Amino acid sequence: MKILVIGGGGREHTLVWKISQSPLVDKIYCAPGNPGIAELAECVHIGAEEIDALLDFAKAEQVDLTVVGPEVPLTMGIVDIFQAAGLEIFGPDKAAAQIEGSKKFSKDLMARYNIPTAAYQSFSDHAQAVAYIREQGAPIVVKADGLAAGKGVIVAMTEDQAIAAVDDIMLNQVFGDAGASVVIEEFMDGEEASFFAFTDGKNILPLASSQDHKRLNDNDEGPNTGGMGAYSPAPVVTDELYQVIVDTVVKPTIDGMAEDGCPYSGILYVGLMIKDGNPRVVEYNARFGDPEAQPLLMRMKSDIVPVLQACARGDLQQDSIDWYDKAAVCVVLASGGYPAAYEKGLPISGLDAAAEIEDVMVFHAGTTLKDGRIVNQGGRVLGVTGLGDTVRDAIDKAYAGVKVIHWDKVHYRHDIGARALNR
């Protein structure tokens, strides 16, 4: 069969890598792809948001299944358009993708179905938002309602910081239209975890646990990013807690979406805050996490393609996934200056040396070719992922890969996976 993967980041490189292992697959296309993906798939020069062009390509090449990586085409309705043309596509439709596209939509869903989360209010009026902050005090969390590439959440430790965040989002429009309204919610402390489940809108197939590292610098300091590294499994999610998350969060979410008339199909990401063994939802995403996809799919033993097909067809019968009894750790190498401005076009060395290290995969996220050399193009550039018998082994593998890769001003955290070791 022929598969088209949409996107060009680390998550998509990981999906292409995993899909390429399936005996069911003859040909993989990726639009637009990146230099790492080009080693496994035919990259097509169509942007992830050029939906009409993607549809024309899928029809012309008789693609059997399209897999959508990023959130923006999902919120634009790519699934609806492909399905209307009779094409199989993995991901939620436009109505269901609001679970990520609108913070207010997702918080209202949780309130309706008693899914544990932080107390909140949403505002489209700046003065009312500021008055609410004054009333509630700090610490408090301010979120742009719409999509902001993982950067629209400000954890404010003082009222002044929170009001400055509202000013930035609503008045200065630092996130554009995403900031037309804001959600302001109670600050939750605890330990974060990421939980993923495949679903066809009715049945769910949960994945192994994982944990992301959102902050830019060691010891969880600095601004929030799209993710500086991840590992799986996450010891904070015990077997008992795993079942609690399925029963009190994942099932009610999928059942609630169906009840509301917008059944959710694809992969559901739930960002959780765990304190005293109790999980609460921080946010939902309508797609695989990046960088969580890297360690999760490195550990996944089962063929992913039948699962993707079953979700797309509304016929998910599989009730378990086989996992390698190993740990995996992904360390993100970022451009110096990220998540603010950074220099592009800097040549990257050491990729061949890293590729020779056993049980290490280098997934490309923000790279491109310039004069025949691979250079940095995005904020998060590479995801160096190691597989090991223990978390310690996997950390050592990943950082062995990190050490041989270099470009000017490269930035990465030195403590990915440390929380797991502390347990």
Residue whose C-alpha is closest to residue 148's, from 242, 9, 285: 285
Residue 280, both tokens:
């609460």
Task: Give the Cα separation of 262 and 257 in Å (integer).
Answer: 5
- Write down how long the chain is: 423
- pLDDT of the residue at 177: 87
For 266-293, the pLDDT digits (tens) are: 999 999 999 999 999 999 999 999 999 9
For residue 92, pLDDT beyond 80: yes
Structure tokens at 67: 């897999």
pLDDT for position 146: 87
Given pLDDT bands bounded at 50, 70 and 90, which one contains residue 148? confident
Angle 191-192-194 from CA coordinates, rounded to 5°: 150
Q: Which pLDDT score, from 0 to 100, does residue 98 have?
A: 96
Task: Name the average pLDDT for the chain.
Answer: 96
CATH 3.30.470.20 fits 191-313, yes or no: yes
CATH number of 2-91: 3.40.50.20
Please list the residues that pair with 278 across neighbouring strands: 275
Separation in Å, CA 141 to CA 124, 164, 174, 186, 193: 16, 12, 17, 6, 18
Q: Per-residue pLDDT averaged across 97-111, rounded?
A: 95
The string of pLDDT tens digits covering residues 195-221 is 999 999 999 999 999 999 999 999 999
Cα separation, 106 vs 132, whole angstroms: 20
Q: Burial code of 213-236, b = ≥16 C-beta within 10 A, e = fewer? A: bbbbbeeeeeebbbbbbbbbbbbb
Sign of the four-CA dihedral 257, 258, 261, 265? positive
Rounded Cα distance between 188 and 280, Å, is: 9
Residues forming a β-bridge with 300: 323
Q: Distance (Å, rounded) from C-alpha 260 to C-alpha 254?
A: 10
Q: Any idea which fold 125-180 has?
A: Dna Ligase; domain 1 (3.30.1490)
CA angle 141, 145, 150 (to 5 degrees): 75
Confidence check: pLDDT of 377 > 80: yes
pTM over 0.75: yes
pLDDT (0 to 100) of residue 224: 83
pLDDT of residue 153: 87
Choice among 11-25, 175-189, 397-411 with the minimum mean pLDDT: 175-189
For residues 366-376, average pLDDT? 97
Return the pLDDT at 340: 92
For domain 327-422, the CATH class is alpha beta
Q: Based on the number of CB atoms within 10 Å of its own CB, is 60 exposed (0-12), middle (13-18) or buried (19 or more)?
A: exposed
Q: How confident is the model at residue 21 (pLDDT cuts 50, 70, 90)?
A: very high
Return the SS3 of 59. Answer: helix
Using CB atoms within 10 Å of the CB of residue 186, give its burial: 0 to 12 exposed, 13 to 18 middle, 19+ buried: middle
Residue 147 — pLDDT band, cuts 50, 70, 90?
A: confident
Report the percentage of the chain scoring pLDDT > 90.
93
Number of other CB atoms surrounding residue 85 within 10 Å: 12
Give the pLDDT confidence of 165-187 residue by residue, as tens digits. Answer: 999 999 989 898 888 899 999 99
Q: Single out the residue of 250, 321, 227, 266 nearest to residue 68, CA to CA.
A: 266
- CA triplet 186, 198, 216: central angle to 5 degrees? 45
List Cβ neighbours of 325 (8 Å cut-off, separation of 6 or more). none
What is the distance between the alpha carbons of residues 384 and 375, in angstroms, rounded to a whole number?
Answer: 16
Backbone torsions φ then ψ of 66, nearest 5 degrees: -110, 135
Calculate helix-pair angle for 251-259, 103-112, nearest 10 degrees. Answer: 100
What's the CA gap between 1 and 268, in Å, rounded?
25
pLDDT digits (tens, 9 = 90+) for 218-276: 999 998 888 999 999 999 999 999 999 999 999 999 999 999 999 999 999 999 999 99
Where along the chain do its domains lie? 2-91, 125-180, 191-313, 327-422
Mean pLDDT, range 372-390, rounded to an integer = 97
